[in-house]
Amino acid sequence: MSSTAVSAAAGLRLPRWAVPAGAAVVIAAAYVVFRGTATLPHDDEAPQFLAVTELREWIDDHRNDNPLFLYFLNYIRLFVGALYTFFQGVLHALGWPGITGVMGALAWLAGGRRIALVAVAGVSTFGVLGLWESSVDTLALVGVAVLLSLAIGIPVGVWAGLSARVRRAVTPVLDVMQIMPTFAYLAPLALFFHIGAPAGAIATMIYAIPPAIRITALAVSEVSPTAVEASVSLGATRRQTLVKVYLPLARSTMALAVNQTIMMALSMVVIANLISAPGLGGDIIRGLSRAQVGIMLPAGVAVVVMAVVLDRMTMALVDRDPHARLRRLDLVAAGVPAAAGVALIPVLPQVWPESLTIDMVAEVNAAVAWAETNWYAVTTFVKDATSYALLNPLESLLTSAPWWLVALTVLLVAWRVSGLRRALTALACLLAIALLGVWEHTMQTMTTVAVAVLVALVIGLALGVAAARSPRFSAVQRPLLDAAQTMPAFVYLLPALALFGTTRFTAIFASVVYAVPPVVRLVEDGIRAVPAPVVEAAVSAGSTPGQLLWKVQLPMARPAILLAANQGIVMTLAMVVIGGLVGAGALGYDVVSGFSQRTDFGMGFVAGVATVLLGVMLDRITQGADRRPSPRKRKVT
């Protein structure tokens, strides 16, 4: 929309839209002529899939005699597994009194009384919901994954922060890791690390390490160069400067790295249940497979509560007054609940007493059933209308178009938006997808993503513009967005499933809910970042608010809006793939199916790879001319 404003203003010589419009006409004509030729229909038995399935069979047979497994991979698995067993053992030994006390104490040290109350209330919630044991398992898994992620991420991050060369080497890897839809790397992991808690922890680490590295590197590279120079000029060794200058000065930003690592880990452990990692994910998957929101909801709430508690605790560390020192009073105050909790271990039962739990399964199910029956007409209409009006036509368009035409279109669009180099990357990804034999499913997934992104962008733009123009609206909306961004992605499937059953639309709904908050935020910030003098000048020239918006604010916020689109696409793709669990079909379903049916393993694996390629492609197309900052911008800035 910004381009219409610009082109309307600049329509003197050859209109700017002439070239793209011409290209569009040529492509449309080519489609009409070549429609139905050179399509690449899906084949469940494609040789690519079979090869991978065979590889998996081979690995399964040689897991215990191949040296790579025997001396390397299996040791990693054993180590992570042992660590998990240790964490889980300690937590279970602490029992609920011990965990409540210790968490309360840690929270007090991190942020004082208020945070301690949040922590104690949160931990008690696990018990009240009747999910004590799964919650503790999840906590242990998150603990292991976060600990190992930080153990790897912080040193690498510090190194990358100190050396531009390392940073350049690491950044593209991190980019890909972050674009990779979580779902995609479960299959390869199962291949190398089998299933169970260790594989789950490792999958979680892959997801949680990038922010740890990225934010740590940022923290270190932002350390005042003069302070460093001052230290060196006084004859400090590298080590002294690192320990006495870099690390202390980067500390509060590094606490943010810890925070983000925990949040990422928490949203991943749920998904990791698909490869049999223990914890709350099991309850959510159980709810999904029984289509019972009553089972999923408490587990979802427990995950959110855990996210909120851990988020508040670590954010308290980030926000802490840099000069505040631990007062003795706080130490004592924190010691009391810890000591009390530990002292109560032998007295109170380890497991949360059943009399104190609230069972909401039946009530929630009843409420959902009510909504289903009473809103059936509306939800079905919405679902069917979207399918018939948008999804099905677009899908048949993409699947019936010759592959070379789609590739050409992608190349041209990406070239125009993001430049030749990125366009070539995008093209390479698309061609690789074609070679992998998952073209048709990729086109279907792309359809779903396109529709979801369209909806998310429209809503996000509307809300973002509204927020940018009305401070009051923004004030109401902001805490909601904060909360939404703290929640693990999986949770959004719940309401979607309750309303729409298992269809493609469920995935669209969930991904819209998932992607809207960051889009709103980026758009709002983008519009607000338009310099005040520019706005003043426009207003003093007599612009109406509408003119101001269309001619000044939106065009100037274009980079932010592009970034919002980019983020929206990456997030939507991740969610649409997860939507394979609830009927979204195509690549996501292939991945799910790959876990479920041994004969489909190859297809699932390939679909996972294709998802990554699709993610990279969409990212490159929409990257625009600007560098892409790390996602979840909220806390970094």
Partner 1 sequence: MNIRLLAGLVALGLAVAGCGGATVDGTAGSSAPAGGSSASAGSAGTVKIAINPWVGYEASANVVAYLLENELGYDVELPEIKEQLAWEGFETGDVDVIIENWGHPDLKKQFIEDKKVAVEAGSTGNKGVIGWYIPKWMADEYPGITDYRNLNKYAELFRTSESGDQGQLLFGDPSYVSNEDALIRNLKLDYKVVVGGSEAALIKSAQQAQEQRQPLLFYFWDPHWLFSKTELVRVNLPPYTEGCDADPKKVACDYPEMDLDKIVSKRFADTGGKAYELVKNFSWTNEHQNAVADDMTNGGMTGEEAAKKWVEANPTVWQAWIPK
Partner 2 sequence: MGDSPDSAAITVEGLWKIFGPRAHEVLDGDDRHLDPVALREKTGCTAAVRDVSFAVRPGEVFVVMGLSGSGKSTLVRCLTRLVEPSAGTITIGGEDVRAASPARLREIRRHRVSMVFQHFGLLPHRRVIDNVAYGLEIQGAARAERHARAAEILSLVGLDGHADAYPDQLSGGMQQRVGLARALAVDPQVMLLDEPFSALDPLIRRDMQAEVVRLHREVGKTMVFITHDLSEALKLGERIAIMRAGAIVQVGTAEELVGAPADDYVADFVRDVPRANVLTLRWICRDPEPGEPLDGPELPAGTRVADAVGVASASSRPIKVVAGGELAGVVDRVDLLAFLAGQDTPARAKA
Enumerate long-range contacts of 245-249, CB under 8 Å, 24 or more apart: 246/158, 246/161, 246/162, 246/220, 247/158, 249/223, 249/224
626 contact choice in partner 1, partner 2, none (CB below 5 to 8 Å, kind-dependent): none
236 contact choice in partner 2, partner 1, none (CB below 5 to 8 Å, kind-dependent): partner 2
Under 8 Å CB-to-CB from 39, ≥6 apart: which residues? 399, 400, 401, 402, 403, 439, 440
**Residue 585, interface with partner 1 (CB under 8 A)?**
yes
The one among 64, 355, 540, 637 contacting partner 1 by CB under 8 A: 64
**What is the rounded CA–CA span in Å between residue 268 and residue 205?**
9
Q: Exposed, middle or buried by CB within 10 Å (0-12, 13-18, 19+), for 286?
A: middle
**Residue 89, interface with partner 1 (CB under 8 A)?**
yes
What's the min distance (Å) between Cβ of 69 and partner 1? 8
**Residue 156, interface with partner 1 (CB under 8 A)?**
no
**What is the rounded CA–CA span in Å between residue 141 and residue 486?**
19
Encoded tokens for 22: 């011409």
Residue 272 vs residues 2, 21, 187, 281: alpha-carbon distances, Å: 41, 46, 11, 7
What's the min distance (Å) between Cβ of 524 and partner 2? 31
Q: Exposed, middle or buried by CB within 10 Å (0-12, 13-18, 19+), for 228?
A: middle
Number of residues that bind partner 1 (CB under 8 A): 62
The one among 194, 214, 620, 632 contacting partner 1 by CB under 8 A: 194
441 contact choice in partner 1, partner 2, none (CB below 5 to 8 Å, kind-dependent): none
User: Is 226 or 540 the residue whose CB approaches partner 2 more closely?
Assistant: 226
Q: Exposed, middle or buried by CB within 10 Å (0-12, 13-18, 19+), for 23?
A: middle
227 contact choice in partner 2, partner 1, none (CB below 5 to 8 Å, kind-dependent): partner 2
**What is the rounded CA–CA span in Å between residue 263 and residue 273?**
17
**Residue 275, interface with partner 1 (CB under 8 A)?**
yes
The one among 350, 357, 485, 630 contacting partner 1 by CB under 8 A: 350
What's the min distance (Å) between Cβ of 445 and partner 1? 14
Nearest CA-CA partner of 567 in 636, 620, 519: 519
235 contact choice in partner 1, partner 2, none (CB below 5 to 8 Å, kind-dependent): partner 2
**Residue 222, interface with partner 1 (CB under 8 A)?**
no
**Residue 176, interface with partner 1 (CB under 8 A)?**
no
User: Is 229 or 626 the residue whose CB approaches partner 2 more closely?
Assistant: 229
Contacts with partner 2, residue ranges (CB under 8 A): 224, 226-237, 240, 244-245, 248-249, 251, 322-323
**What is the rounded CA–CA span in Å between residue 75 and residue 81?**
9
**What is the rounded CA–CA span in Å between residue 179 and residue 567?**
10
Encoded tokens for 228: 């460093």
CB 631 within 8 A of CB 311: no
CB 418 within 8 A of CB 621: yes
4 contact choice in partner 2, partner 1, none (CB below 5 to 8 Å, kind-dependent): none
Residue 339's Cα: distance from chain center in Å?
38
Segment interacting with partner 1, rule: CB under 8 A, options 191-199, 306-314, 414-422, 466-474: 191-199
What's the min distance (Å) between Cβ of 228 and partner 2? 8
237 contact choice in partner 2, partner 1, none (CB below 5 to 8 Å, kind-dependent): partner 2
503 contact choice in partner 1, partner 2, none (CB below 5 to 8 Å, kind-dependent): partner 1
What's the min distance (Å) between Cβ of 366 and partner 1? 10
DSSP per-residue letters across 497-511: HHHH-SSHHHHHHHH
Neighbours of 254 (CB within 10 A): 24
188 contact choice in partner 1, partner 2, none (CB below 5 to 8 Å, kind-dependent): none
Segment interacting with partner 1, rule: CB under 8 A, options 5-13, 59-67, 121-129, 554-562: 59-67
What's the min distance (Å) between Cβ of 251 and partner 2? 7
**Residue 546, interface with partner 1 (CB under 8 A)?**
no
What's the min distance (Å) between Cβ of 227 and partner 2? 5
61 contact choice in partner 1, partner 2, none (CB below 5 to 8 Å, kind-dependent): partner 1
**What is the rounded CA–CA span in Å between residue 567 and residue 634?**
13
Nearest 5°: phi and psi at 438?
-120, 30
User: Is 238 or 290 the residue whose CB approaches partner 1 more closely?
Assistant: 290
Nearest CA-CA partner of 407 in 380, 383, 435, 382: 435
Determine the length of the chain: 637
Segment interacting with partner 1, rule: CB under 8 A, options 175-183, 289-297, 316-324, 548-556: 289-297
Q: Using CB under 8 A as the criterion, which residues of the chain lie in contact with partner 1 when the complex forms?
A: 44-45, 60-61, 63-64, 67, 69-71, 74-75, 77-78, 81-82, 84-85, 89, 194-198, 273, 275-276, 278, 282-283, 285-286, 288-292, 350, 362, 383-384, 387-388, 391-392, 396, 501-504, 581-583, 585, 589, 592-593, 595-599
